[in-house]
Structure 1
C-alpha cells in the first residue's frame, strides 16, 4: 500500500487524528481537509488516489463535494456518515461514491475498504476468451478495447464500473443475473458495500442509454437484471 495518497475531508479533528495515526502504520500518505470546499481545492492540488468525504461538514457537505468532484474526476470516493440510513447510502452512490462507511468505524475496516476499491480499479489483465471485441445491438455498440459506448449515434461516457456492468450483461443477452451474482462478478468477493449499489448503477446505465429508441436493461422482478434489446 506504499505511495498511496488518501484525502480525508472531515471537520472532526479527533476522527482525522485517528485516521492519521493508523494510516501512518499502513504507509498511506494522508491529506486532510476540514470542509467540502477545501477538499475540492486539495483534489486539484494533490491528485489523491482515494477521497474520503464526511457527509456532515460546514461550507459544503459531503454530498455536494461528491457531486462537484464527479464533474471533473473519477477518483474513488468513500462517504463517511453518522447515520445508518438507507437514504444517505443510496444518495451517496447515486452521486458517484464507490462505497460508504458508517460512524463509528474501525480504522482497520476503512483501510480494508480502501485496498479493496483500489484493487478493483486496477486494469484487468484477463484475456478475453471470445474473439468479439465489439458488441453491436442495432443502435448500440460497445467497444471493449477502447471502452467506448455509442448509443443512437452518440458517444456516451461511462464510469468504469458502469461500463463493466453493461458489458457483463450484454455479453449474455437474455440471461438473468441476480444482484449477488453481479456484485461477485464485477465488484469481487471483497466488496463491503450495500447490494443496492447494483440498482444505483443500473439506474445510471439506463439514464446514459436513454436516447436509444428501445430498452435494453430489463428488471426481472424478484431476481435481478438481464440484457435484451426490446425494439
Structure 2
C-alpha cells in the first residue's frame, strides 16, 4: 500500500459536526487533513496547500462548492469529491459539469467515503 503520510486532503463543509466526522475518518488513513468552513476559505487554503484531494460540500456560505470546484479546475487537475445533502440527479450532473471527479450524497456511509478517498488518492487496499 502506498504511503499516505505525504498526502494532503482539504475538506470544506459548513456543518461543524459533519466536518469533524469526515476529517476524523479521512485522517485515519494517515493523510494530513486541512479544513475550511466556507467556499472562500477553501479556495484560499487550496491556493496555499495545493492538496492531493479536495472534498467539497455543495451548499456553503459565500462561494458554494460548485463554484469553488470550477475555480479549482481552472488551475489544477486535483481530484475533487463533491458532497451534497440533496439526492437530486441534477446535482450529480452539475458536479460533473463543473469538473468534479466524483460525487457522494449525504448521509454518507463512512466506509464508502473512505473507499472513494483511497481511490482518488490512488491507493488500493488489498483487504478489499
Equivalent in the alignment of 1:42: 45
Equivalent in the alignment of 1:152: none
Correspondence 1:102 to 2:102: no
Spell out structure 1 runs of 4+ moving beyond 6 A: none
Structure 2: gaps (5+ residues):
124-128
CA separation in 2, counterparts of 1:3 and 1:39?
20
- Structure 2 residue aligned with 1:78, among 67, 81, 91? 81
CA separation in 2, counterparts of 1:87 and 1:26?
31
By percentage of residues, which structure has more strand?
1
The structure, 1 or 2, with the larger RCO (C-alpha pairs under 8 Å, 6+ apart) is 2
Q: State the TM-score, normalizing by the size of structure 1.
A: 0.50
Please give the residue correspondences for 1:1-231 in structure 2 after superposition, counting only pairs within 5 Å: 1-119=4-122
CA separation in 1, counterparts of 2:106 and 2:34?
20
Equivalent in the alignment of 1:157: none
Cα pair 2:26 2:117 within 8 Å, conserved: no
Cα pair 2:9 2:52 within 8 Å, conserved: yes
SS of the residue 1:71 aligns to: helix
Structure 1: gaps (5+ residues):
121-231
Cα pair 2:11 2:55 within 8 Å, conserved: yes
Cα pair 2:11 2:23 within 8 Å, conserved: no
Select the structure of larger CA radius of gyration: 1
CA separation in 2, counterparts of 1:29 and 1:55?
22
CA shift at 1:119, angstroms?
A: 2.0
Q: State the TM-score, normalizing by the size of structure 2.
A: 0.88
CA separation in 2, counterparts of 1:94 and 1:62?
13
The root-mean-square deviation of aligned C-alpha atoms, in Å, is 1.6
Alpha-carbon displacement from aligned partner over 1:47-78 (angstroms, at most 9, x marks no partner) = 11000010010011011111111111111000
Q: Aligned pair count?
A: 121
